[in-house]
Amino acid sequence: MASPRVLVLTGHGINCDEETCWAFAQAGGEAVAVHLNDLIDGRARLADWQILVVPGGFSYGDDTSSGKALANRLRHGLRDALWEFAAGDRLVIGICNGFQVLTCLGLLPWPETRAAAAGLTHNAQARYECRWVRCRVEDSPCVFTRGLGTIRLPVAHGEGRFTAGADVHAALVAHRQVALRYAGPDGAPAGGRFPWNPNGSLDDIAGICDRSGRIFGLMPHPERAVHFLQRDDWPARAAALRRAGEPLPEFADGLGIFANAVAYFA
């Protein structure tokens, strides 16, 4: 089967589009960065793609809170096309700023309502956090995390603290929509402890999906953890592997998220 076509949104402060295209290419996808204006003006059609990616960055400078301005532009510029795309047998992923956009749009956690029910707000430490974290893949319908265990990915955000009301949180847990949780060194949930939970997220939530598992948002950056040599701990891991007489791996944990998306269309 031909590689799935991946639209990676770009423009207006998005700055992880090239890395995300590269990550999908390593996984076997046909990824192209498309400017938001080209979609809104009709020079590109959302319906022609199978996977939509809203990548990381600082869209519109985060001047009106993270993701809000880009979400409004998408909502009013694409209107029903966006919801028709999400309702079809297609995939949507939002990474970091893209996760913020999906929650502002209401594509997460429940796209059928078209209403924002959860959000990402300022880190509990009241400062920008740029570090590597462990994430525990939870039992969920999420297409992107199938077959993955505990994964190591970097975060880089000032507004990554997941928040939701008690009723929304209970529904997310009940419907298995929590796809990723920040974890401690032993792989168990971080229990809110810094730096394992880098932002104070409710219930250690690092990523959620919709009930179908086809729409996924996460704060960590898998596109920055595709190759082994991108890992923060690669020298120590490489030394240990050499002592054990084992070859160095080519890829890192982030690739699995993109590979799962491509495999969905196989």
Active site amino acids: 96, 221, 223
CA distance 97 to 171: 24
The conformational region for residue 81 under phi > 0 = left, psi -120 to 50 = alpha, else beta, is alpha
At residue 93, the 3 state secondary structure works out as strand
State which H helix or E strand residue 133 sits in. Answer: strand 129-137
Instruction: Give burial (CB, 10 Å; 0-12/13-18/19+) of 188.
Output: middle
Output the CA–CA distances (angstroms, integers) from residue 249 to 100, 160, 234, 242, in the order listed: 32, 30, 10, 11
At residue 183, the 3 state secondary structure works out as strand
At residue 29, the 3 state secondary structure works out as coil
